[in-house]
Chain A
Amino acid sequence: MADRAPIGSGWRERAPAVLIVFLLAATPLVARALGDPFIVKVATRVVVFAIAAVALNFVVGFGGLVSLCHAGLFGVGGYVVGVLAWHDFNAEPLLFLPGTSNLLVSIPAAAVVVGLLAAIVGAISLRTSGPYFLMITLAFNQMFYYGAVALQKYGGEDGLQIMSNVTLGPFDMSDRYRFFYLALAFLAAAMFVLGRVVRSRFGMALRAASRNETRVIAVGVDPWRYRLVAFVISGVVVGIAGALLAAGQQFISPVDMGWDRSGDLVVMTVLGGIGSVWGPALGAAAFVVLELVLSSWTSHWQLAFGLLVILIVVGLRGGLADLGALAFGRRGTETAHG
């Protein structure tokens, strides 16, 4: 396992998260200065996947649960926004409710739907553990994937285009810059809230259970309930990320929820380092930018990327977060099974 440092408190732990948000907040300025709006598009993608990776790491890094269904949950969040917008555009009620393109409604709706789904998936999957948990979440991911493919009405395999104008209350959100800052606000909120939660009583119980289940049971904690709640929290956040993905690119498709996407999310998380709340945001940024750069060099970028992933697992155990730590000499490397 990659090194998990004890979670500290105060500015030292929060400073990197604040720095990440500030750096990201500056990207639209850079885009304006260079006259290259594409930069904002990339930055939005970075932010969306950063939220997803931070959400995933809440269960992987702090709950000790390697979930392979997060791309599925992510995609469902996107589909909630997409389907609501479809019904808005076609002026056809969804069951008895009208559709909407207002994110004030559709993002909370995505959060609730994915949260409920995560509760069901979690309740079943958490009966198992270790490799079985991994596999059953993978199975759920494929269920969601095929479920999306089966939605013929909403584009099936080809995905769902959002034709209406996405709004946030009175604001038009088709403005790239405005949307970017909305997404960034969600990332900042996710890191702040989850940062609080991992330090709370709940977080202490969850983290202790992930490292030594026997010990926490012996003092009177039932790990199952804490893991389930953590899984739901993670689901809600990843659902919001999916909603932002769909709203931002005006499109959602089963491709966004394939099992390899789940693998990508795990890679982002580990790339950034699972020991901190903010590490995975860094990992997502590195992943998205790397994907972009490598694919501009060669159409065979996945070969380089695959080898890079292997090298990272073989070598850099604490992720990118560790690079900084190593530079400051705060802690050395250590053995895998402490």
Chain B
Amino acid sequence: MTSSLLIEQLLNGVQFGVMLFLMSAGLTLVFGIMNFINLAHGSLYMIGAFAGAATQAATGSFLLAVVAAPLAGAVAGLALERGLFQRFYARDHLDQVLVTFGTILALNEATRIVFGLTPLRMNLPDALAGHVEIIPGVPYPTFRLVILGVGLAVAALLYVVIMRTRIGMWVRAGASDRPIASAMGVNVPLVFAALFGVGAALAGLAGVMAGPILSVQVGMGEPILILALVVTVIGGIGSIRGAFVAALLVGIVDTFGRILLTPALGGMAIFMMMAAILAFRPKGLFPAHG
């Protein structure tokens, strides 16, 4: 492998990792604070992608699509949370798996009814369609750099919010000790809904970002959901920092696994890594719960 290819693939890995982080951020917080396993998180990603593609098809504006996707994700997420999922916070994991599994089936099929079987395509505006020479001799797609930038910006923003604000303090407390968090005198259902909404918006954003790279189709949410679950668990449930580190790790290992091995064996690499990490650190790399 030449060094320019190595750099390119490394960037691809980091870019994919950043996408995974957008997916995992909401997942790990909902998991850590509400103790809720949301398998339907991938559906919010899909909804974001379809909302983006439909908006672009209707208006021709990529920028509007990028705005519409997280909004659609948030609206769908809030509807699910208020209408259905909030009843399951106190139920056991088996019930949570079932209700979100049913939601995936229903949402996938509903999307298929609305948009049909053919995958949608999203086109990039000219400004983002080209390549940039990041270092001499290594051209890199501009849009992937944009994804990288957006992802890192979101990560930075989340970090500031969680480490520096009142709501962030509550979120940190909630992730490590639920009873204390609910005793801190905040409107718990409201904060839960807001948290779920933000996570859903990020998933929608990740969906529209993936739109121009992959095709927008039903079922696109599940592969990335599974990787996001892997990220969440490797990072330690409830830990944003853990999710960030694990997302980059998974993104890079996945990218290189697929190049160095066959795609199928590369697909296995991630799960082997997860099994190995959990065998030695059963609570992930950065356990939030003591």
Contacts and interface: CB of A to CB of B under 8 A. Distances in A.
A306 B104 contact: yes
Interface string A106-148: 0000000000000000001101111110111011101100110
B274 A266 contact: no
Most buried by A among B90, B97, B103, B270: B97
A144 to B, nearest CB: 9
Interface in B40-71: none
A302 B108 contact: yes
Given A132-B283, A138-B229, A302-B106, A266 B271 contact: no
B230 A135 contact: yes
B101 A267 contact: yes
Given A134-B93, A135-B232, A305-B105, A146 B113 contact: no
Interface residues of B, number: 50
Contact of A156 (B95, B98, B233, B264): B264
A331 interface: no
Interface size of A as a range: 35 or more
Contact of B268 (A146, A259, A303, A308): A146
Contacts of A302: 105-106, 108-109
A60 B237 CA distance: 22
B99 A310 contact: yes
A310 B271 CA distance: 29
A150 B265 contact: yes
Given A134-B37, A266-B94, A310-B102, A143 B233 contact: no
Interface in A250-276: 259-260, 263, 266-267, 270, 274
B262 A267 contact: no
A327 interface: no
A149 B263 CA distance: 9
A130 B35 CA distance: 10
Nearest to B284: A132
Contacts of B274: 136, 139
A4 to B, nearest CB: 11
Contacts of B95: 1-2, 313
Contacts of B31: 131
A313 B99 contact: yes
Contacts of A267: 98, 101-102
Contacts of A300: 109, 112-113
Interface in A207-224: none
A124 B278 contact: yes
Nearest to A264: B101
Listed residue (B91, B95, B101, B282) with the most chain A CB atoms within 10 angstroms of its CB: B101
Interface in B227-249: 229-230, 232-233, 237
Interface string A298-322: 0011110111111011100000000
Contact of A143 (B92, B109, B110, B275): B275
A57 to B, nearest CB: 11
Contacts of B88: 313
A266 B283 contact: no
Contact of B98 (A124, A157, A307, A313): A313
A66 interface: yes
Interface in B203-223: 222
22 contacts: A2-B95, A68-B97, A132-B284, A136-B274, A142-B226, A142-B268, A146-B265, A147-B264, A150-B264, A260-B222, A263-B39, A263-B97, A266-B94, A266-B97, A266-B98, A267-B98, A300-B113, A302-B106, A305-B102, A310-B102, A313-B98, A314-B99
